[in-house]
Amino acid sequence: MRHFLDIHTTTPDDLRAIIDTAKSVKKAREGQPKAALDAEQPLADRMVALIFEKPSTRTRVSFDVGVRQMGGQTMVLSGADMQLGHGETIADTARVLSRYVDMIMIRTFEESTLHEMAEYASVPVINGLTNRTHPCQIMADIQTFEEHRGPIAGKKVVWCGDGNNVCASFIHAAGQFGFDLTFAGPPPLDPERGFIEEARAKGATIEIVRDAQEAVKNADLVVTDTWLSMHDSQSARERRHNMLRPYRVDRKLMGHANKDAIFMHCLPAHRGEEVSNAVMDGPQSVIFDEAENRLHAQKAIMRWCVEG
């Protein structure tokens, strides 16, 4: 049994195997109807619980479709359905679910919820997102970059904006896949220092540059994410806007990156805020390939889990 909890806790060899599987799974499905089943059925007769304490579009649909394409069935559970940790412990919930299902994907708030679920479950657990990390998204991003520009090792990735959970997983990936990452954002929103030091210890160059135009020089990939959380108050939204406005990705900023640099955003985007429409819809944008690859990368992750 294998859990997929974070990029920095999965070996580089296993991460590379997952990416290679994702590419081959995608290629094998070219030309098939979207609803068609995969030729191989690694999840045949298996039930997968999809737990959402946080609402979702891409994570919910991509996991649900992926399980079905691989021959399995899904049970989608919301936070209201389960109230994890309220009344019944997470450990007991994990033990009970393990008697019913063959795999658990959880999208939750606290990282401790994910780890307690994995500790006590006797089936594989996948991190669909926590407040701290978002590894499935970055696996799709690595796949997308390599489809467009070849191996990511040795490349320069620039993150513009908030050092959030997606940024954290990009830093983890820098250490595991051998690329360099520059963070461009305001000091109050810097990524966790421990994540930076761990990636540096693995040989990645991780830099913090306050000037966005300076940061994106020689960039092969420019990435951003929404500035706002659905839980932010109006005053918090205004403060974040003021802090992050210098890190907005527009044509002028992209003009300082390499000519063949590409742009990513995990979506949903607030068009005109963290990124301009011209960049979102421009020739350097690969955001919809990135969104599609959530399906293929997550299928590869689930296959890796069950084949373990």
Give the catalytic positions in this structure: 107, 134, 137, 225, 266, 294
Alpha-helical (H) ranges within 29-164 are 58-69, 79-82, 90-100, 111-120, 135-149
What helix, strand, coil percent values describe the chain, rounded to 5?
45, 15, 40
Q: How close are the terminal C-alpha atoms of the chain, in Å? A: 5
From residue 113, alpha-carbon distances to 74, 97, 110, 118 in Å are 21, 14, 5, 9
**Cβ contacts of 267 within 8 Å, gap of 6 or more:** 58, 287, 290, 291
Q: In what order do the strands lie in the sheet with 262-265?
A: 206-208, 180-184, 156-160, 221-224, 262-265
Burial class (CB in 10 A: 0-12, 13-18, 19+), 217: middle
Q: Is the dihedral of CA 164, 166, 167, 172 positive or negative?
A: positive
Token pair 């819809």 is found at 281
Q: Please tell me whether residue 99 adopts helix, strand or coil conformation.
A: helix
Give the residue among 77, 112, 79 at the shortest CA–CA distance from 97.
77
